[in-house]
Amino acid sequence: MTSRLFPLSSPASPVSPVRVGIVGLSARGGWAPRSHLPALARLEGYELRALSASSEESARAAGEKYGVPLAFGSTEELVRSDQVDLVVVSVRVPLHRQAVLAALGAGKAVLSEWPLGNGLAEAEELAAAADRAGVRTFVGLQARSAPAVRHVRGLVADGYVGEVLSTSLVASGRGWGPVSEPSGAYLLDERNGATMLTIPFGHTVDALTMVLGEFTEVSATLATRRPVVREAGTGRTAPMTAADQIAVSGRLASGAVVSAHFRSGLSRGTDFHWEINGTEGDLVVTGDSGHLQQAAVTVRGGRGAEKALTELPVPVRHFDVPALEELRGHPSYEVAYNVGAQYARILADLTEGTAHAPDFAHAVRRQRLLDAIGRSAATGRRVEV
Which parts of 134-280 fold into alpha helices (H)?
147-157, 202-212
Flag whether pLDDT at 174 surpasses 60.
yes
Q: What is the DSSP string of 238-259?
A: EE--S-SEEEEEEEETTS-EEE
**Residue 8 banded pLDDT, cuts 50, 70, 90:** very low
Query: How many angstroms separate the CA atoms of 255 and 248, rounded?
Result: 16
* Residue where a domain terminates, one of 135, 158, 189: 135
Q: In sequence order, which residues have a C-beta less than 8 Å from that of residue 356 and are 6 or more positions away?
A: 345, 346, 348, 349
| Largest separation between any pair of C-alpha atoms in the chain | 65
* Residue where a domain terminates, one of 117, 135, 153: 135
In a domain, 215, yes or no: yes
In a domain, 114, yes or no: yes
Q: Are residues 128 and 162 in the same domain?
A: no
* Residue where a domain terminates, one of 113, 135, 157: 135
Q: Are residues 167 and 131 in the same domain?
A: no
Number of domains the chain contains = 2
State how far the alpha carbon of 30 is from the alpha carbons of 34, 72, 91, 152, 278, in Å.
7, 18, 10, 30, 41
The tens digit of pLDDT for each residue in 58-78 reads 999 999 999 999 999 999 999
CATH number for the domain spanning 130: value is 3.40.50.720
Query: How many angstroms separate the CA atoms of 244 and 366, rounded?
Result: 20
pTM of the model: 0.95
Q: Are residues 49 and 98 in the same domain?
A: yes
**Residue 326 banded pLDDT, cuts 50, 70, 90:** confident
The tens digit of pLDDT for each residue in 262-293 reads 999 999 999 999 999 999 999 999 999 999 99
Q: Supply the range of the domain harboring residue 281.
A: 144-320+363-379
- Pair 341, 144: CB distance under 8 Å: no
Kindly report which listed range (20-24, 28-32, 60-64, 217-221) carries the lowest average pLDDT score: 28-32
